[in-house]
Amino acid sequence: TTNINNDAQVSGTAIMGGTFDPVHNGHLRTAVEILDRFHYSSLKLVPCFQPVHKGRPSVTPEQRLEMTRLAISSDVRLGVDTREIQREGPSYSIDTLRDIRSEIGVSEPLIMVLGMDSFLSLPTWHDWQALIQYAHLLVVSRPGWEPDLISELSAFCENYRAGSPHELQCAPSGRVWFETLTPLGISSSMIRALARKNEAIAYLLPEPVQHYIEQHQLYR
Ligand code: ATP
Ligand code: MG
């Protein structure tokens, strides 16, 4: 496993976008493993307003945001970035990366963390070839998803694949890195399906999020 340096934190803004419908331990475990291995000081979850490649979320953006807030509150290194929800409309990652880049300046590393399933769909994203101009792509393993790269993506990887994870700490953007994490076969769809059947969702997501779902009778 990657462990780049054991001591100092490195500068860099790490983000992970998602629908978080609801946020779960697969997301959170991904976030903390990346922080432990890459030593960025924080990672922000970025809940989308309107996902571009799947149907409408089952609950409101405010509810997804509230659950995300509950989930990250137990770890000071985790945060939430509300810009996509405030922006409204379809949530294009390219808009978000451009926006963050203009805030942090040209030289600070910006790291977009995404699961293998998301990465494989990259060629369908709006202006996808431009993403790498603004950020590094840190692709994490996800059970059930193998890196079967279609030709467009393998060409992309040939151009941008980092030789070592250090490159994601030095350069501001422009590199792709694949990182294998503890496999957790948890998805939001699975949690929604369990809730719909009135089966237990405990231990798949943080307790405060579980209680929020129960209290507000979400996903029934
Ligand atoms: P759904 O089942 O509704 O599609 P999801 O579980 O895939 O939801 P998203 O909000 O779509 O959750 O995911 C946000 C990001 O987190 C994506 O980049 C996704 O690949 C990644 N991710 C989600 N679950 C896991 C997991 N268990 N392991 C690794 N990465 C994950
Ligand atoms: Mg998904």
DSSP 56: -
Distance of alpha carbon 163 from alpha carbon 52, whole angstroms:
32
Place of tokens 């995404």: 114
Q: Is 159 in the pocket of ligand 1 (CB under 6 A)?
A: no
- The candidate with the shortest Cα–Cα distance to 18, out of 73, 61, 74, is 61
The pTM of the whole model exceeds 0.90: yes
* CATH class given for the domain over 13-185: alpha beta
Mean pLDDT value of segment 13-24? 97
What backbone torsions phi and psi does residue 90 show, to the nearest 5 degrees? -60, 135
Q: How confident is the model at residue 212 (pLDDT cuts 50, 70, 90)?
A: very high
Closest-approaching ligand to the CA atom of 189: 1
Q: Is 189 in the pocket of ligand 1 (CB under 6 A)?
A: yes
- Residue 118 in this model has a pLDDT that exceeds 70: yes
pLDDT tens for each residue of 127-181: 999 999 999 999 999 999 999 888 899 999 999 999 999 999 999 999 999 999 9
Return the half-sphere exposure (C-beta side, CA atoms, 13 A cut-off) of residue 140: 27
Amino acid at 22: P
Tokens at 210, concatenated: 């579980």
Q: Is 68 in the pocket of ligand 1 (CB under 6 A)?
A: no
Distance of alpha carbon 38 from alpha carbon 111, whole angstroms:
11
Ligand 1 atom closest to Cα of residue 54:
4
On whether the CB atoms of residues 151 and 125 are closer than 8 A, the answer is no
Q: Is 172 left (phi over 0), alpha (psi -120 to 50) or beta?
A: alpha
- Residue 57 in this model has a pLDDT that exceeds 70: yes
pLDDT tens for each residue of 67-99: 999 999 999 999 999 999 999 999 999 999 999
On whether the CB atoms of residues 174 and 136 are closer than 8 A, the answer is yes
Distance of alpha carbon 133 from alpha carbon 98, whole angstroms:
9
Query: Using CA of residue 48, residue 50, residue 56, residue 59, what is the dihedral sign?
Result: positive
Ligand 1: residue of 53, 117, 191, 192 to mutate (most ligand atoms within 8 A of CB) is 117
Closest-approaching ligand to the CA atom of 119: 1
Distance of alpha carbon 177 from alpha carbon 34, whole angstroms:
12
Closest-approaching ligand to the CA atom of 19: 1
Bond into 22 cis (ω within 30) = yes
Q: Which residues pair with 17 in a beta bridge?
A: 46
